A and B are shown apart, each in its own frame.
Chain A
Amino acid sequence: ILNVEQSPQSLHVQEGDSTNFTCSFPSSNFYALHWYRWETAKSPEALFVMTLNGDEKKKGRISATLNTKEGYSYLYIKGSQPEDSATYLCAFRTGNTPLVFGKGTRLSVIA
């Protein structure tokens, strides 16, 4: 059974602070790592799909890195804003199998 761990479970930061959280996954049989943002009362939205060791992706103030050899990915948010408040999910896959999601990190940005 594939296990995807995310930490911390929840996080409160002040507006303007930068923050980061972790997704850990099995390092063997890696195919891809996905990050999603899930805002309250909305559907999860894809942020990044990462496939290569050392991959770095960026979208605005949000960026992610990937280490497939040690089985982790970091998501960074620079200068957090209240609209960044959401649950951030990572999902892992091996080959042609469905995504396995972590439980998410719930971020609250306080104005």
Chain B
Amino acid sequence: SQTIHQWPATLVQPVGSPLSLECTVEGTSNPNLYWYRQAAGRGLQLLFYSVGIGQISSEVPQNLSASRPQDRQFILSSKKLLLSDSGFYLCAWSKILASEQYFGPGTRLTVT
């Protein structure tokens, strides 16, 4: 069966510090991978998605970036965090781009 891991579960970072969130998927190959953010009082916003190694599509311009160095690894990064980057970050995968998505446990990020 497939499982998806995210870490860390919670993170408190000062403004201006870098960020690296990692997501890995087990039990499947060539998954489509996604990063979402839910800011306080807001809906689920798609940040990035990837259909393959090194292929990243950005949905919203921001100071975040994503990378996919391996087939089942998806990384969300920032060089300098802003207060507005606080939120709940979810990684997800799907078999094809438009199919049902399976979500990871999420990372609660607080930028202070």
A: residues with CB less than 8 A from B are: 31-32, 34, 42-46, 49, 89, 93, 95-104
Cα separation A44 to B34 with both chains bound (whole Å): 14
Cα(A95)–Cα(B98), bound, Å: 7
The segment from B13-21, B61-69, B70-78, B102-110 found at the interface with A is B102-110
B contact residues around A97 at 8 Å (CB):
97-98
Find A98's partner among B42, B90, B97 (CB 8 Å cutoff): B97
Q: Are B100 and A44 in contact (CB under 8 A)?
A: no
Given contacts A43-B105, A98-B34, A98-B49, contact A31 B43 (CB under 8 A): no
Compute how far the CA of A43 lies from the CA of B9 in the bound complex, rounded to whole angstroms: 12
Q: Which of A45, A99, A101 has the most CB of B within 10 A?
A: A99
Q: Are A49 and B34 in contact (CB under 8 A)?
A: no
* A-binding residues in B (CB < 8 A): 34, 36, 42-46, 49, 59, 90, 96-106
Roughly how many angstroms separate A49 CA and B102 CA in the complex, as a whole number?
A: 13
Q: How many A-B residue pairs have CB under 8 A?
A: 49
What residues of chain A lie closer than 8 Å to B46, measured between beta carbons?
98-101
28 A/B residue pairs, CB under 8 Å, sorted by A: A34-B100, A42-B105, A43-B103, A43-B105, A44-B90, A44-B103, A45-B103, A46-B100, A49-B99, A49-B100, A89-B43, A89-B44, A93-B98, A95-B98, A96-B96, A96-B97, A97-B97, A97-B98, A98-B34, A98-B97, A98-B98, A101-B36, A101-B43, A101-B44, A101-B45, A101-B46, A104-B43, A104-B44
Interface residues of chain A: helix, strand, loop or mixed (majority): loop
Q: Decide if the interface of chain B is mainly helix, strand, loop or mixed.
A: loop
- Closest chain-A Cβ to B57's Cβ sits at a distance in Å of 8
The residues of B that contact A89 with a CB separation of less than 8 Å are: 43-44
Q: How far is the CA of A103 from the CA of B36 in the complex (A)?
A: 13
Instruction: Compute how far the CA of A17 lies from the CA of B98 in the bound complex, rounded to whole angstroms.
Output: 35
How distant is B30 from chain A, measured CB to nearest CB, in Å? Answer: 15
List 10 tightest A-B contacts by C-beta distance, closest first: A103-B43, A43-B103, A101-B44, A44-B103, A46-B100, A96-B98, A93-B98, A96-B97, A98-B49, A49-B100
